[in-house]
Amino acid sequence: MRVLLAEDDRPLADALTAVLRDAGFSVDLASAGDQADFLMRTETYDAAVLDLGLPVIDGLSLLRNWRDAGIAAPVLILTARARWADKVAGFAAGTDDYVTKPFEPLEIVMRLQALIRRSHGEPNPVINVGTCSLDLNRGRLLVDGAPVALTAQEYKLLAYLFLARDRVVSRTELVEHVYERDCDPDSNVIDVLIGRVRRRIGREVIQTVRGRGFIVGSSGVDA
């Protein structure tokens, strides 16, 4: 999953970026409101972590503008403001969750995972497809009850496909949600990843829909 992190405190932003990447997220970092606004309007994100105290454009104004523009990506607000009135203003502007500084970085990971699951209509952190069981909270895959190791990119691809199960996902969509903005993967990189994952979990789990992309959880298409 791909996340926009809008935070101007560089040590905090670097620490959060490291934790999020370790948890399987691709992260694009913005240190000012205008940069965050540009990225959100031109890139594709599964969620955003938004500091209210950003320079140039504050976080609350950004959030209102995004919602007015129809941008529905889940947003988790970070703020040093602990007053209830500030939280009310955040939720009124369209935030999905709210965390007051200081916080434990792993709390951000867990809240983001929950927000993204809910945006896909998935309340359970463990997704079962055939003999596969993917635990999004632990970043762990079991096949026939046995753990299967995945690289970071393989895990990101599989997690996105599992969250989007029963829906055809194009190669372009997978690139947008698996890789960060500065990455420029080769045109066949998704097919290579799909092939590697299939060797680990079985070809029948990820099926190919010719001319459209890939699907998990349905039958009757060309693998």
Q: 66-82, pLDDT tens digit by residue? A: 999 999 999 999 888 76
Q: pTM value?
A: 0.84
Residue 179: the pLDDT is 82
The CATH code of the domain that includes 171 is 1.10.10.10
Do the beta carbons of residue 126 and residue 150 sit within 8 Å? no
* Cα–Cα distance for residue pair 87/100, rounded to 1 Å: 9
Pair (104, 133) in one structural domain: no
Residue 189: the pLDDT is 87
Q: What are 175-191's pLDDT values in tens digits?
A: 888 887 776 666 688 99
Last residue of a domain, one of 89, 119, 149: 119
SS3 30: strand
Pair (65, 7) in one structural domain: yes
Last residue of a domain, one of 98, 119, 140: 119
* Cα–Cα distance for residue pair 196/3, rounded to 1 Å: 24
What is the pLDDT confidence band of residue 218, given thresholds at 50, 70 and 90?
low
Kindly tell me if the per-residue pLDDT of 94 is higher than 80: yes
80 or 16, higher pLDDT: 16
Nearest-5° angle of CA 148, CA 178, CA 97? Answer: 100
Pair (188, 151) in one structural domain: yes
Do the beta carbons of residue 175 and residue 189 sit within 8 Å? yes
Quote the DSSP letter at residue 169. B
* Cα–Cα distance for residue pair 96/43, rounded to 1 Å: 20
Domain that holds residue 31: 2-119
Q: What are 111-126's pLDDT values in tens digits?
A: 999 999 999 888 889 9
